[in-house]
Amino acid sequence: MSSSLKGLPQLLRSSVGTPGKARNEPNDVKIVQYLFNKLKAVVQHDIDEDGIVSAGLIRTISQFQTIHLKFHHPDGVIDPDGKSFKGLIAAAVKLPPQVSVNPFSLTRPLSSASVNLLHARVDNYLSKARCTAASEVIKQQAIMLPGITGATSLTEYDYQQAYETLNRKIDINIIKAFSIVESGGRTGFNEMNLPKIAFEGHWFRKLTKMKYDYTHPSLSYRYKKKAQAEWQKNNSDQRSSWNALKAAYALDANAAIQAASWGMFQTMGFNYTMCGYKSIEHFLCDMKASAGKHLEAFLIFCQKNVALNDAMVNKDFYGMAYHYNGSDFGNYDQQMKRMYESLNRGHA
Amino acid sequence: MKFNFPLFVVTALLISLNAYAEDHALKSGVYEQLKLAVSSSGEVTGYYADSMGDNASQTCIFTLHGSRQSVGEATISAHSAQDYPGKLSGTDSGVMLTLPQGQQQPGCMNLLPPDVATGIEFTRGLETQWQTLAQAAAEKVYLHKSPAADGGKKVWIIKNDVVGIIAKKENWSQVQFVNDNGKSTIGWVETSQLKTLTAAVR
pLDDT tens digits along A155-166: 999 999 999 999
Residues facing B77 on adjacent strands: B65, B85
Q: Are residues B145 and B191 in the same domain?
A: yes
**Cα angle B25-B41-B69, degrees, rounded to a multiple of 5:** 50
Mean per-residue pLDDT over chain A, rounded: 89
Q: Which residue has the higher pLDDT, A260 or A10?
A: A260
Q: Which residue type occupies A86?
A: K
Give contacts of A 201-260 with B, CB under 8 A: 202-203, 206, 210, 222-227, 231-232, 235, 258
Domain check: are B83 and B148 in the same one?
no
Which pLDDT score, from 0 to 100, does residue B4 have? 67
Asked if the C-beta of A198 comes within 8 angstroms of chain B's C-beta atoms, the answer is: yes
Alpha-carbon gap, residue B63 to B33, rounded angstroms: 12
CB B199 within 8 A of CB B187: no
Closest CA to A198 of A130, A264, A261: A261
Nearest by CB to residue B56, choosing from A274, A324, A328, is A328
- What's the CA gap between A196 and B16, in Å, rounded? 50
Residues of B in contact with A238 (CB under 8 A): none
E runs forming strands in chain A: 16-17, 77-78, 197-199, 260-262, 267-268
- Res. A249: pLDDT tops 90: yes
Assess if residue B156 is contained within a domain: yes
Task: Dump pLDDT digits (tens) for A96-136.
Answer: 766 544 544 444 444 567 778 888 889 888 888 888 887 77
pLDDT score of A32 more than 90: yes
H or E element in which residue A70 lies: none
B64-80 pLDDT, tens digit each = 999 999 999 999 999 98
Q: Do B107 and A326 touch (CB under 8 A)?
A: yes
- Tell me whether residues A270 and B114 touch, CB distance under 8 A: yes
**A42-51, A109-118, A167-176 — most confident range:** A167-176
Compute the Cα dihedral for A269, A271, A274, A278 and give only its sign: positive
CA dist B122 → A82, A121, A174, A204, A342 (Å): 32, 47, 37, 13, 45
| A276: amino acid identity, one letter | G
Tell which of B80, B97, B127 closes a domain.
B127
Q: DSSP character for B202?
A: -
pLDDT band per the 50, 70, 90 thresholds, residue A41: confident
> Is B107 within 8 Å of A327 when comparing Cβ atoms?
yes
- B40 lies in the same domain as B103: yes
pLDDT of residue A81: 86
Number of independent structural domains in chain B: 2
Nearest-Cα distance to chain A for B10, in Å, is 34
The pLDDT value recorded for residue A133 is 80
**Exposed e or buried b for every residue in A162-195, given b needs 16+ CB within 10 A?**
bbebbeeebbbbbbbbbbbbbbeebbbbbeeebb
Same domain, B60 and B47: yes
- To the nearest 10°, the Cα dihedral for A150, A155, A159, A164? -50
In a domain, B139, yes or no: yes
Do B118 and B141 sit in the same domain of this protein? no
Element (H, E) at A172: helix A172-183
Q: How far is A85 from chain B (nearest CA, A)?
A: 33
Task: Flag if A273 and B114 touch (Cβ within 8 Å).
Answer: yes
Q: Nearest to residue A261, comparing CAs of B105, B175, B109? A: B109
Answer whether 0.90 is exceeded by the pTM: no
At residue A106, the pLDDT reads: 44
CA-to-CA distance for A22 and A76, rounded, in angstroms?
Answer: 9
Residue B163 falls inside a structural domain? yes
What local confidence, expressed as pLDDT, does residue A3 receive?
44
Please check whether residue B7 lies inside any domain of the structure: no
3-state secondary structure (DSSP) of residue A89 = helix
Kindly state whether residues B78 and B117 are assigned to the same domain: yes
Chain B residues bordering chain A (beta-carbon distance below 8 Å) = 32-33, 50-54, 56-61, 80-81, 103-104, 106-111, 113-115, 120-121, 123, 125, 180-182, 199-202
Q: Which residues of B touch A308 (CB under 8 A)?
A: 109
Decide which of B106, B127, B148 is a domain's last residue.
B127
Please indicate, yes or no, whether residues B89 and B148 belong to a single structural domain of this protein: no
Q: Assess contact for A201 and A227: CB atoms under 8 A.
A: no
End position of a domain, from candidates B78, B108, B127: B127
Q: What are the distances in angstroms from CA B102 to CA A87, A206, A345, B84, B112?
A: 45, 17, 39, 7, 7
A19 forms bridges with which residues in the sheet?
A22
Residue partners of A62: CB distance under 8 A and separation at least 6 = A74, A75, A76
pLDDT at A278 over 90: yes
Percent of chain B with pLDDT over 70: 88
Q: Are residues B90 and B117 in the same domain?
A: yes
Instruction: Say yes or no: B40 and B108 in one domain.
Output: yes
Give yes or no for a contact between A244 and A234, defined as CB atoms under 8 angstroms apart: yes
- Burial readout B94-108 (b: 16 or more C-beta within 10 A, e: otherwise): bbbbbbebbbbbbbb
Three-class SS of residue A273?
coil
Compute the distance between CA of residue B50 and CA of residue B34 in angstroms, rounded to an integer: 9
A208 against A327, higher pLDDT: A208
Tell me: the pLDDT tens digits for B49-106? 998 866 657 899 999 999 999 999 999 999 988 899 999 999 999 999 999 999 999 9
Residue B91 belongs to domain spanning: 29-127
Residues B75 and B121 in one domain: yes
Per-residue pLDDT of chain B (202 residues; tens, 9 = 90+): 555 667 777 777 666 666 666 678 999 999 999 999 999 999 999 999 998 866 657 899 999 999 999 999 999 999 988 899 999 999 999 999 999 999 999 999 999 999 999 999 999 999 999 999 999 999 999 999 999 888 777 789 999 999 999 999 999 999 999 998 889 999 999 999 999 987 665 5
Distance CA A245, CA A133 (A): 20
CB B33 within 8 A of CB B46: no
Which pLDDT belongs to residue B42?
A: 95
Task: Please report whether residue B188 resides in a domain.
Answer: yes
pLDDT at A42: 77
Residue B19's pLDDT is 66
> Hey, how many other C-beta atoms are within 10 angstroms of the C-beta on A154?
21
Kindly state whether residues B159 and B104 are assigned to the same domain.
no
Residue A63 CA to residue A66 CA, distance in Å, equals 5
Examine residue B13 and state whether it is found in any structural domain, yes or no: no
- On whether the CB atoms of residues A273 and A267 are closer than 8 A, the answer is no
Residues 6+ apart with CB under 8 A from A310: A316, A319
How far apart are the CA of A188 and the nearest CA of chain B, in angstroms?
16
Do the domain assignments include residue B97? Answer: yes
Structure-model confidence comparison of residues A209 and A224, the more confident one:
A209
Domain identity same for B36 and B63 = yes
Cα B93 to Cα B25, B27, B38: the distances in Å are 10, 11, 16
CATH (domain of B147): 2.30.30.40
**Is B14 a domain residue?**
no
Strand partners, B172: B169, B190
